[in-house]
Amino acid sequence: MTHTLPDLWILVTLAAAVFQTARFMLQKYLATATLSAAGATFSRFLYSAPFVVGGLFLYLHLSGVPLPQINAGFWAYGLLGGTAQILATICVVLLFKQRNFAVGITFKKTEVILTVLTGWLVLGEGVTGWGFAAIGLGVVGLFLLSGEKGATGFHIRDFRNRAAGLGIASGFLFAISAVTYRGATLAVVSDEPVLRAAVTLAAVVCMQAVIMAVWLRWREPGQMRAVWHARKVAVWIGLMSLGGSLCWFIAFTLQNAAYVKALGQVELILSVAAATLFFREKITLREWAGMAVLVGSILMLVLVT
């Protein structure tokens, strides 16, 4: 068992990165073509909810396992994580309109650094001195990435532009969701990681769909109809979201959230391929350097945290 579980969390994390890259590619396409950032975000939750809930009940029926007991704190963790993920996803979709796909995904990767800090503060998961050094290296990478086109050197004002603000905000919010989702899965009384992940995912995605529906009906009523008209593409966002989220949740039940997110950095390689091959976007030398430094800091966190 000690050899199987580490292999499992690695495999499901890699699968999650593939699903997530595909989902963000589709969201970028929809946000550019037909939907607002909120509409593209809503499509993810709306079209994944039926699959998630249906899959959970099918699993319970076929396995003969009853719905597990849920401890106190589950709903609070789930609501906080779900709301943070909604806001983070909106930030990323907006960021795609400011910078190229690969840089947008890399900005999102600040979640790894912030997950370490959030896990330390919320769940008491330790950070060493070398861990803080890796975080400092990540800040250098952020300076490089935050500079707008033609920028040279390091300036605090680089963080004041819209792209940097959206990127760092998304990382912070995704970090909150990662840690709180781990807290939610641990509140499900079951020895089966897949069942714990499925129960948490079903509860969270339903809350997210309701929250987004209320918001769009209030603020952007036209987007409800647009999301329905975009269903031929949006349903694939739901499927990719289902696959990615389920894999992330399973990984969170098996391993520290910071380790899971660190391994998930393979998503950056996939995003570079997507940016250059599918969206035909160019990556500047400074952006390459920023991505390399940020990834280096993340890998350092894997080794020392």
Confidence of residue 214 (pLDDT cuts 50, 70, 90): very high
The 3-state DSSP class for residue 174 equals helix
Rounded CA separation 124/194 (Å): 25
Q: What digits encode the pLDDT tens for the residues 34-46?
A: 888 888 889 888 9
pLDDT at 90 over 80: yes
Q: What digits encode the pLDDT tens for the residues 180-204?
A: 888 898 899 988 888 888 899 899 9
Rounded CA separation 112/138 (Å): 10
Whether 226 and 38 have beta carbons less than 8 Å apart is answered as: no
CA atoms within 13 A on the CB side of 77: 20
pLDDT at 131 over 70: yes
Q: What is the mean pLDDT of the chain?
A: 80
Confidence of residue 305 (pLDDT cuts 50, 70, 90): low
